[in-house]
Amino acid sequence: MILKVTEQNGITIVEFVNVTRFTLASADEVKTELRPLLNNKDCRMLFDFHDIEFVDSSAIGCIIALFKTAKSVGSSLKLCNLTPEVLKIFELLHLQVIFDITGTRESCMADYVK
C-alpha cells in the first residue's frame, strides 16, 4: 500500500508512504483506493504531495479523474505541499487553474473550514 488515508475534523487526508514518484506504476492503485471515498457525497479530501518529487502523465490523469469523480457527486479534492518540481509540471499544464492547490496542509485544512 502506497497511501496513508486518515481523517481529521471531517477531512480525508491522503499521503504517499515510502514513495517519491507518482507514476503509471501506482496510478491505478491510487484511483482504486480513493475513488470510493470521493463517491461519498460531501467528501472533503486533502491530497498531500509532500514527498513526491516526480509525477508522470498517468499520475496527472489519475488526479484529473479523481477530481471529476469528486465534482460529479458534490465532493471536493484539494492538493497541498507540492514540491517545486511537481508544481512546475502543474503550472506548465495550467492545472493550477483547475485544482485548488495550497502551500501547506494547514492552509488547505483552513480553506475547508471557511
Question: Which alpha helices (H) appear in the chain, and where do they start and end?
Answer: 24-38, 57-73, 84-92, 105-113
- State pLDDT tens for residues 6-62: 999 999 999 999 999 999 999 999 999 999 999 988 999 999 999 999 999 999 999
Q: At what angle do helices 57-73 and 24-38 cross, to 10 degrees?
A: 10
Task: State percent of the chain over pLDDT 90.
Answer: 94
Within 8 A by CB and 6+ apart from 53, the residues are: 20, 21, 83, 85, 86
Domains in the chain (CATH in brackets) are: 3-113 (3.30.750.24)
Nearest-angstrom CA–CA distance, 83 and 68: 23
Whose cell is 518529487? That residue is 53
